[in-house]
Structure 1
Amino acid sequence: MPDGSKWCPDCGNVQPVAGFPRSRAAASGYGTYCLPCHNERGKASRAKVGGSRTYHLARRYGITAAEADVMLAAQGGVCAVCRTNPAEHVDHDHQTGAVRALLCFNCNGGLGQFRDDPDLLHMAAFYVQHHREQQALALLQAVGSADPDGPADVTGRR
C-alpha cells in the first residue's frame, strides 16, 4: 500500500487518504470506506428506516416521521405554545428525553434559553407583566397631567 493511501473494502480501490472521511474513532484518523462508498452506505441506512427525516427523528428523539406527522395534525399544524406559527421543531425534555410537542422556532428557542425551568419562566412572565403595567400607569399619569382641567378620577369625573 503506498504511503498516504488507503484501500476501500467496498469498491476495492486504493485512494489517497484525502478521499476518506475523517474519523476520530479510527486509529488512522480516517473512515473505513472511501467517501463515495461511505455516502452510499449512509443513504442505504437512512432508506432502510424510511428516509432521512425518519432516520433523524428516530436517532434524536425516538419517534418516526409518521408519529411527528400525527402530532402535527393533532396540533393543527401550529406551535403548541403560541398557536400561531408553524410547528417545525420537536420539543423534548432534556432530562428524560421524552418528546413533548412540536413548536415553532421562537418558542422552542425561548424554552431552551430559560432551560425548561417553570419557575424561571413564571418570573419572566411576571417581569414582562409588571413592566407593562408600569408603562401603562406612566402613560395615564402623563395624559392626566397634560389635561388643563386636571386628572379625571376613575369614573371620568373631574
Structure 2
Amino acid sequence: MKPIDDFVRNRSQPSGRQPYCKPCHNARGKASKDKMGGSRTYHLKRRYGITAAEADAMLAEQAGLCAICGKAPAEHVDHCHTTGRVRALLCFNCNGGLGQFKDDPEVLRAAAEYVLHHRGLQPAAPAPSSTED
C-alpha cells in the first residue's frame, strides 16, 4: 500500500488518480518510448506518423535547410492540418508564417503580390535634420 500522494492526479479516472504510482508510471512511459526507438521517434510517430529515421532522411534530402526559404535550418515538421500528411521540414519563421496564413494558398498569393507591389514604391524616410530653426 502506498500513500495517495504517490499517484498522479487524473480526472478521467474514477478514483481521480492514475492507476500506477509515479515511479511505475515513469518506468512504463520510458519503456514505451524505448520500445519505439527513443523519445524523438516516440514524439514524431505519435504526432506526425513518421520515425526519426524518416525525419533524418527528409533533412538530408533538404540539405538541412528549410524547404521554403532554403536559408535557415529546418527544425520543424510541416504537415497538413486537414489530412495530417507530412509535407516537409521548415525553419521556425516559415512554419509560423504558414500557420499565420492558415495554409491558405490564396492568402499567401495575395501576400506575395502585396509585397511585390509595394517593393521599391515607398520613398525612404528623410533623414532627420541636425539643425533646428
Answering whether residue 95 of structure 2 is matched by residue 90 of structure 1, we say no
Answering whether residue 2 of structure 2 is matched by residue 14 of structure 1, we say yes
Q: Percent identity?
A: 66
Answering whether residue 64 of structure 2 is matched by residue 77 of structure 1, we say yes
Report the equivalent of 1:115.
Answer: 102
Please report how far the alpha carbon of residue 18 of structure 1 lies from its aligned counterpart in structure 2 after TM superposition.
Answer: 2.5
CA distance in structure 2 between the aligned counterparts of 1:50 and 1:23, rounded to whole angstroms: 27
Any gaps of 5 or more consecutive residues in structure 2?
Answer: 127-133
Q: Which residue identity lines up with residue 29 of structure 1 in the other structure?
A: G
- From the CA coordinates, give the structure whose radius of gyration is larger: 1
Q: Which residue identity lines up with residue 106 of structure 2 in the other structure?
A: D
Helix, strand or coil at the partner of 1:21: strand
CA distance in structure 2 between the aligned counterparts of 1:30 and 1:129, rounded to whole angstroms: 57
Report the equivalent of 1:40.
Answer: 27
Please report how far the alpha carbon of residue 110 of structure 1 lies from its aligned counterpart in structure 2 after TM superposition.
Answer: 0.6
Report the equivalent of 1:154.
Answer: none
Any gaps of 5 or more consecutive residues in structure 1?
Answer: 1-12, 143-158
Q: Which residue identity lines up with residue 111 of structure 2 in the other structure?
A: A
Answer with 17-26 or 104-113: which moved more. Answer: 17-26
Helix, strand or coil at the partner of 1:33: strand
CA distance in structure 2 between the aligned counterparts of 1:95 and 1:113, rounded to whole angstroms: 16
Report the equivalent of 2:117.
Answer: 130
Higher relative contact order (CA 8 A, sep 6+): 2
TM-score, L = length of structure 1: 0.75
Please report how far the alpha carbon of residue 38 of structure 1 lies from its aligned counterpart in structure 2 after TM superposition.
Answer: 0.5
TM-score, L = length of structure 2: 0.88
Q: 1:68 aligns with which of 30, 34, 55?
A: 55
Please report how far the alpha carbon of residue 133 of structure 1 lies from its aligned counterpart in structure 2 after TM superposition.
Answer: 3.4
The count of residues paired between Structure 1 and Structure 2 equals: 125
Cα root mean square deviation, aligned: 1.4
CA distance in structure 2 between the aligned counterparts of 1:68 and 1:122, rounded to whole angstroms: 29
Return structure 1 stretches of 4+ with deviation > 4 angstroms: none
What are the superposed Cα offsets for residues 92-116 of structure 1, whole Å, 9 maximum, x if unpaired?
A: 0000000000001111111011110
